Amino acid sequence: MFSEYAALIVLLPVIAFVFTLFLGKKLYSGGALLPIAAIAGSFIISLGIFLEIYPADGMVQQSFPWFAGMNLGILIDPLAVVMLMMVSFVSLLIHIYAVGYMSHDPARPRYFAETSLFTAAMLSVVLSDNILQFFVSWELVGLCSFLLIGFWYHKPSAAAAAKKAFLVTRVGDVLFLAGIVLLYVNMKLLVDNGTLVVESQSYILQFKTMFEAIKLIDGTQLTYITLLFFGGAIGKSGQFPLHGWLPDAMEGPTTVSALIHAATMVTAGVYLVARTFPMFVATPSTISAGVPDALLIVTYVGGFTAIFAATMGLVMNDIKRVLAYSTVSQLGYMMLALGTAGTVLGAKAVGISMFHLLSHAFFKALLFLCAGSVIHAVGTNDIREMGGLFKKMKITGTTMLIAALALAGIGFPFESLGMPIMNIGTAGFFSKDAIIEGALEYGEVTHDMIPYSFAIIAALLTSIYIFRLWFMTFTGKPRSERHSHESPGVMTGPLMILAIFALLFGFSQLGFYGYLEKNFELMDVNIAVHEGEAFHPSAFLILLPVIVGVLGFLISYAIYNKRMINMSKIVSSGNPLYKLLYNRYYEPKIGADLIGVKLTHDVVARSGEFVDRKIIDGLIIDNIISNTLLKLGEIIRKLQTGVVQNYASVTILGIVLLLILLKLKFGGT
């Protein structure tokens, strides 16, 4: 019964957007209740659809013709339905939290309208049944991200960050669009020569049809298409080298960071790769034997980003920037999972990656909301000015500790070690362990241990930076004279709900994998799984992720709580490594100074100016062209006499001529 109302999942927040934007000022609390009600409706419908299709392994498919052989449609398969529930649920909690967080902001109607539109667009990305609609919604979330990063547009840094986010993700979006065009050209060719038959009620860019065409498209072309898609994912998910916009995006309100730049929008890139996963798997392996080219690149980009971003997270002093780098790093993990597990486990990789995506959404949204609660109370982003907050903010402190434990992947794998107790741990423990295990298995099969070492080192760094953040914020003595207080119930409520998820979500692991594994079977796509001999790592390797997690905790405890090591020597501008990390590998400098000023302005624009001024105007024709044109203009302007009678005469002359011509042509009286 819910399936029939699937379109409402997107439409309800759109309606809320319109009403909040225009009437928000007159409504209670800036119109926050409308989006909350609408998104709650979306969540209930998503949940209802899940309960309907889960027992029967069904899907919801609806489609309407749009234009020129394209369609608008809804496809809710296992992959989409878990994502739908997560997006609407997290968005709902964050909207409730925002009622408290934004209570002092005069522009609340605009805020709630834009987040509502964002939610609609994101839900539309998730349930698209064709790549074109996916792209349109994808651009719409990008627009909302731009608007919300620049929400406080009167701050120059926020305006600049919004611009940067928009431009940098645009690079990825152009690649994505190019991929769609290339795919369309290839498929159109196949349709025209009759190899590919598009049935009635089917459309050329539907995922269904795309997957049917995989076998028919030339392998090299398929690699190009998937890599262009991945380019889009790199831009949206902040992967190296397009990662720079995400930390800057922290200029927006913290709730926006939690919703868009942690839980939902940035994961759209991962979702895109998961969605078109059969295409990635089907690419030929030319670089490394047995590894599809596209997956190899996904693996390395993801793995490198995971470790690269984590190093910068170590030195940031802005509480939100640490979390932003953490997000980039965790997204790298999800990509790594798709690449490595995709090679060795086939379709199961989607389950592994999506599981981390969901558990990450819960604990990272929680981390951001806790950070928001701290910022709301203290009034600064700088963790050097915090400290000792745990006594005053018990709920925030506890929930943030839970989220940190989840991010660090703390738990204990009893069952994997052969003990008769189930594995116990936080959500991040289950999801991250599976990724690291997948990378290990990849290493065993292909004898390439680099992705595995990326994953392990990044896990250690993750644990260090997140506990550094927690210890510096909540323990020790207050380092500044700031008044702080616990946040109101409307803010701590969502924190506690998310904390429950961050703690317990992991236990749904096996059911989750089983459910998502069926996803591509339902779409009639078979992904070859390389079933090697059963894989049994040694106890040490099973424990290693937990060991590095605990190790990171201890390191941070020693340094930032007990102050056993004096950091002032290491953390100084004299240390080149610290300088490199603190300046974010000079990425903003490279972007602005090298590419922006040196390359674009000094080289391209200056040489253009030289050609124009000195060669075109100066040497060759010495202003002949412009002078001639000017003189010609002088003559022609005289035609416009400005005397109405002249115009009237010409008009009448024209009519008379026309009549004469008609007479000559048709004769008669």
Partner 1 sequence: MSLYSYLLISIIIFTIGVYGIITQRSGIKILMCIELLLNSANLNLVAFSSYNGNATGQVFAIFSIAIAAAEAAIGFAILVALFRLKDTINLDNINILRW
Binding residues for partner 1 (CB under 8 A): 637-638, 640-645, 648-649, 652
CA of residue 361 relative to chain centroid, distance: 11
619 or 639: CB nearest partner 1:
639
For residue 659, the minimal CB distance to partner 1 (Å) is 13
Question: In angstroms, what is the minimal distance from the CB of 627 to partner 1?
Answer: 19
Closer CB to partner 1, 510 or 629, in the complex: 629
Separation between Cα atoms, residue 430 and residue 510, nearest integer Å: 10
CA-to-CA distance for 274 and 339, rounded, in angstroms? 10
- Distances in whole angstroms, Cα of residue 219 to Cα of each of 280, 443, 552, 559: 11, 25, 44, 52
- Cβ of residue 624: shortest distance to partner 1, in angstroms? 25
CB of 646 to partner 1, least distance (A): 9
Residue 320's CB: how many other CB atoms inside 10 A? 25
The answer to whether 498 touches 399, Cβ cutoff 8 Å, is yes
CB 658, min distance to partner 1, A? 15
d(CA 343, CA 588): 35
- What is the DSSP code (8-state) at residue 418? T
CB of 623 vs partner 1, minimal distance in Å: 23
Give least dist CB 630 to partner 1, A. Answer: 14
Using the minimum distance from each CB to partner 1, give the nearer residue, 637 or 665: 637
Q: For residues 576 and 633, which CB has a smaller minimum distance to partner 1 in the complex?
A: 633
Toward partner 1, which CB reaches closer, 599 or 655?
655
**Least distance CB 649 / partner 1 (angstroms):** 5
Of 526 and 641, which CB lies nearer to partner 1 in the complex structure? 641
For helices 78-101 and 348-378, the axis angle rounded to 10 degrees is 0
Q: Residue 367 carries which DSSP code?
A: H
Contacts of residue 248, Cβ cutoff 8 Å, sequence gap at least 6? 149, 160, 161, 164, 165, 588
- Taking the complex as a whole, how short is the minimal distance between the CB of residue 626 and partner 1, in angstroms? 20
The span from the CA of 157 to the CA of 142, in Å, is: 19
Which of 536/637 has CB closer to partner 1? 637
In a 10 Å sphere around its CB, with 0-12 CB exposed, 13-18 middle and 19+ buried, how is residue 131 labelled?
buried
Collect all residues with Cβ–Cβ distance below 8 Å to 284 and sequence separation of at least 6: 219, 220, 222, 223, 292, 293
Task: Compare residues 157 and 646 and give the one whose CB is closer to partner 1.
Answer: 646
CB of 150 to partner 1, least distance (A): 44
Nearer to partner 1, 600 or 649 (CB): 649
Q: Which is nearer to partner 1, 477 or 638 (CB)?
A: 638
Q: What is the torsional sign of CA 259, 513, 172, 128?
A: negative
Long-range contacts of 134-140 (CB under 8 A, 24+ apart): 134/272, 134/275, 135/176, 135/177, 135/180, 138/173, 138/176, 138/232, 138/236, 138/268, 138/272, 139/173
- What angle, rounded to 10 degrees, do the helices at 539-556 and 450-474 form? 30
Structure-block tokens of residue 638: 């005289």
